[in-house]
Amino acid sequence: MCGIVGYIGSKQAYPILMKGLYRLEYRGYDSAGIALLDGDLKLYKTKGKVTDLEGFVSGKSIEGTIGIGHTRWATHGEPNNVNAHPHFSQSQNLAIIHNGIIENYASIKEELIKRGYKFSSDTDTEVLIHLIEDIKNNENVSLDEAVRIALNQVVGAYAIVIISKDEPNLLIAARKGSPLVVGIGDDDYYLASDAAPIAEYTQDVVYLNDEEIVSVRRGEEIKIRTVKNKNKTPYIQKLELNLTELEKGGFDHFMLKEINEQPSSILDSMRGRLNAKKGIVKLGGIIDYEQKMANAKRITIIACGTSWHAALVGEYLFEDLARTHVEVEYASEFRYRNPIINEDDIVIAISQSGETADTLAAIELAKSKGATIIGICNVVGSSIPRATHAGTYTHAGPEIGVASTKAFTAQVTILTLMALRIAKMKGTIETSRYFQLLNALESIPNKVKETLDVDDQIRTLARTFTYARNFLYLGRGYNFPVALEGALKLKEISYIHAEGYPAAEMKHGPIALIDSEMPVVVIATNKGTYEKVISNIQEVKARKGKIIAIVTKGDKDVKKLADYIIEVPETEEMLVPLLATIPLQLLSYHIAVMRDCNVDQPRNLAKSVTVE
């Protein structure tokens, strides 16, 4: 949700900023801009993607060893040239980039208008920079003090960077609710929404905490203080980010690369945590809280989007294995209800980015009621792992395609490990069954590899359905969340309307939609409610719907009924989501490519949703 980047040092800022913006484009891509300081404060911005900005800037002056850049996902004001960031202050001496929402911008704007300020955009961000300049001039304070005073007046979320024409050696940045990392180079500094733009220049980073303001001055150490004016010592951490993970590595799209990475990303999620031979499941990050998890009468899982679908799989796993009562909640709903949560409760928060605003707010609410919060996140150092009591990283590696793929299977893998561990502690699983499941889990990466062989078959299938207007996805039990996730993937990247449904619920409504034009994807693997799902397939066939069935290798019964069959290897019922999801990811990918959609950056979406 908006990517921000800044540079100050001895190198030319422009190439660093542009490269950084490309790396952050997954966060938003409806407009982009940069400001460079070289005596003059030059500001270039345009509607469109970073490549449009590059075209726009071409031929113009790009000198300067200090600058800021932004790629936007619009909240206030439509995506156009004027609303793109950076925004100038009234005097044009200051420029700002911002990720987040200033909720009380309207009242501040009204006040500033009364005092003669003119606004050229519809954004909340422009209000903030005018306010900062107003304070700086009227209270005759330094820029960082003006920023601090202003931030005490605003309500909302922000990661900001400010550049000043009068101070060519200074960048001021601050965060609350939106991420910000400072990279510390030899004689330069980098600022960014995440570590991706920084990793190739330095491994030393400082993750800002909420309500911290950092003054980054060339030739001096960074200074951090809070908006309440408390000095903080910067905590420098070492980055562990492999640069090749940020490239497409020969694939046409990040999404395809990430789908294909799943044999190794699932393995990475389990690495050092699972020893099937010895019967060991060890999740180091939650060891101190395992007993509490085992004692809990109830676990609530909060998440959004794809992570919410992983949470649903988690519900079935914990109920089946650990016999713990589980509730799965959309974080955005949970945070505005009056949920009954108490001190014995365990709340698991799942998030790929670790930045989702609704999930963060839901965590804070559950924390305020005394619950213990366990995180399952992918992005190391992000906000959610820092807001939770304990947690486990999924270690799936950077996920750049906006539609989540490998993060989902990694989340399900971690949930499986957690449920198995808690089941073992509670004694709700027989030893032989426990070993059986550990062995089955250990063999999953190879089976995912085998599943990926369906790629060619799916590409052909995608040709048949490229122009379908609707899709229905059906599954039961563990395959119900898979159906939801399959439908979400298709919507996200191909813009085809798709619905996921529990197969048996279909007769209570969606069946009315079925005719010969309706493709129905049914996940009909051979365990659990297999026979029942066959009946549901019959119901679709009777109405001439086209059945695309995901079945277990060697299946005979569904084969007789389905129009198209996609086989996945045999595995335990509770591990099927890790395999059955793969063909659905590929199906949406190939359909989207054939429809000429921007697979990695689908319209209107952003990967990291830092606004509510």
Q: Quick one: 398 or 569, whose CB is closer to ligand G6P?
A: 398
Q: Smallest distance, Å, CB 245 to ligand G6P? A: 17
Residue 292 has a CB neighbour count (10 Å cut-off) of 16
Contacts (CB under 6 A) with ligand G6P, residues 567-606: 605
Q: Quick one: 57 or 400, whose CB is closer to ligand G6P?
A: 400
Q: Quick one: 101 or 304, whose CB is closer to ligand G6P?
A: 304
Where b means 16+ CB within 10 Å and e means fewer, 220-258 reads eebebbbbeeeeeebeeeebebeeebbeeeeeebbbbbb
CA distances from 605 to 109, 125, 431, 495, 609 (A): 28, 21, 45, 11, 9
Residue 554 has a CB neighbour count (10 Å cut-off) of 10
For ligand G6P, the binding residue among 352, 409, 413, 416 (CB under 6 A) is 352
Q: Smallest distance, Å, CB 1 to ligand G6P? A: 9
Q: Which residue is nearest to ligand G6P (CB)?
A: 305
Q: Quick one: 49 or 447, whose CB is closer to ligand G6P?
A: 49
Say whether residue 304 binds ligand G6P (CB under 6 A).
yes
Q: Quick one: 53 or 611, whose CB is closer to ligand G6P?
A: 611
Query: Quick check: is 232 catalytic?
Result: no
Rounded CA gap, 516 and 493, in Å? 24
- Judged by CB under 6 A, the stretch of 156-164, 182-190, 304-312, 360-368 that binds ligand G6P is 304-312
Q: Quick one: 31 or 356, whose CB is closer to ligand G6P?
A: 356
Rounded CA gap, 375 and 346, in Å? 11
Measured in degrees and rounded to the nearest 5, phi and psi for residue 488 equal -60, -45
Q: Smallest distance, Å, CB 407 to ligand G6P? A: 7
Query: Quick check: is 2 catalytic?
Result: yes
494 within 8 A of 505, measured Cβ to Cβ: no
Say whether residue 413 binds ligand G6P (CB under 6 A).
no
For ligand G6P, the binding residue among 31, 99, 193, 307 (CB under 6 A) is 307
User: Catalytic pick from 47, 136, 447, 607?
Assistant: 607
Where b means 16+ CB within 10 Å and e means fewer, 23-43 reads bbbbbbbbbbbbbbbbeebbb
User: Distance between alpha carbon 333 and the CA centroid of its chain, in Å?
Assistant: 18
198 within 8 A of 183, measured Cβ to Cβ: yes
Query: 441 CB contacts (<8 Å, ≥6 apart)?
Result: 270, 274, 276, 413, 416, 417, 420, 575
Say whether residue 351 binds ligand G6P (CB under 6 A).
yes
Q: Interface mask (CB under 6 A) for ligand G6P, residues 380-409, using x and -?
A: ----------------------xxx-----
User: Catalytic pick from 2, 304, 377, 597?
Assistant: 2
Q: Quick one: 353 or 536, whose CB is closer to ligand G6P?
A: 353
- Judged by CB under 6 A, the stretch of 4-12, 34-42, 350-358, 412-420 that binds ligand G6P is 350-358
Say whether residue 359 binds ligand G6P (CB under 6 A).
yes
371 within 8 A of 354, measured Cβ to Cβ: no
Q: Interface mask (CB under 6 A) for ligand G6P, residues 256-295, using x and -?
A: ----------------------------------------
- Enumerate the β-bridge partners of residue 102: 156
SS3 16: helix
For ligand G6P, the binding residue among 83, 123, 260, 353 (CB under 6 A) is 353
Say whether residue 306 binds ligand G6P (CB under 6 A).
yes
Three-state DSSP string of 291-341:
HHHHHCCEEEEEECHHHHHHHHHHHHHHHHHHCCEEEEEEHHHHCCCCCCC
Give the containing element (helix H, strand E) for 426.
helix 406-426
Q: Quick one: 400 or 551, whose CB is closer to ligand G6P?
A: 400
- Enumerate the β-bridge partners of residue 329: 302
Type of residue found at 295: N
Show the tokens assigned to 364. 């804070």
For ligand G6P, the binding residue among 418, 454, 609, 611 (CB under 6 A) is 609
Q: Smallest distance, Å, CB 25 to ligand G6P? A: 14
Name the residues that contact ligand G6P, by CB under 6 A. 304-307, 351-353, 356, 359, 402-404, 605, 607, 609
User: Which residues belong to the active site?
Assistant: 2, 607
